[in-house]
Amino acid sequence: MSDVILRERRDAIEILTVNRPKALNALNQEVMDTLHEIVGELSMDTELRAVVLTGSGKAFVAGADIASMQELHPLEAEAFAGSGQDMGEAMNRLQVPIIAAVNGFALGGGCELAMCCDIVLAGERALFGQPEVKLGVIPGFGGTQRLIRRVGMAKAMDLCLTGRMVKAAEAVQMGIASRLVEGDVLEAAIETAETIAKNGPVAVRLAKRALIENEDVSLEAGLKAERSLFALCFSTADQREGMAAFLGKRAADFTGQ
């Protein structure tokens, strides 16, 4: 396995670190292929409860690798964008939550990568943005579409047309990031993952599924899907254990079944 993504396991939590610090962790084909492969591997891990994604050094991911993009012809550019979008879709399909620990630049492809995560924690020095227009191109890894869904049309237009960067506090206010972290953002992400890992694993998976799969449907359709997934919980040992533990005033011992 390539060393452009470092892996660390802490019990039921997988910590992934994009590891190209000299290039500010810019996304090239190797990084995207490796991350996509790892996510596919993690999708088969029945012990996994959460994933933390961060970057090495002073950046989360500063963008896509411009040097590898400069000479692309249109068909190659479409394939490159497709790789980034496929990676993001694989992250969305992963049943367990992915928590981004943004510890610096999250620009262009880095902002798009963060938005593919389920929870985005922004460190005090985090910077987000979609500056592609300054290079004569537009976001290609889902930036325009994910921004609209996170922040609305007016703010998405602002970011995509000006290319301006926003600091952590504004990113939280806009809805790009989930919350601002004072102190060590990676440790905060790990603590968040540990909190999630203590919850009912089946319920966490179904909650993520309910949110992602029904983001763009009508309220009626979303409520119907939620009702079905809620009912499905009552076929699980986790539901029985969780409610018995609550009534018995003890900690639940979930098995993910």
Q: Which residues have a catalytic role annotated?
A: 112, 132
Q: Which residues pair with 99 in a beta bridge?
A: 52, 119
Task: Assess contact for 117 and 99: CB atoms under 8 A.
Answer: yes
Kind of pairing between the strands at 179-181 and 165-167? unpaired
- Of 97, 139, 143, nearest in space to 118 by CA: 97
33 contacts: CB under 8 Å, gap ≥ 6: 83
DSSP code for 16:
E
Quick one: tokens of 192? 């968040």
**What gap in Å lies between CA 112 and CA 105, rounded to an integer?**
12
Q: Kindly report the length of the chain.
A: 257
Q: Which helix (H) or strand (E) holds 52?
A: strand 50-55
Integer Cα distance of 16 and 28 in angstroms: 16
Is 75 within 8 Å of 28 (Cβ atoms)?
no
Distance, in Å, from the CA atom of 164 to the CA atom of 180, rounded to the nearest integer, reads: 19
Question: What does the alpha-carbon distance between residue 250 and residue 88 come to, in Å, rounded to a whole number?
Answer: 39
β-pair partners for 59? 105
Angle of helix 201-213 versus helix 219-233 axis, rounded to 10: 170
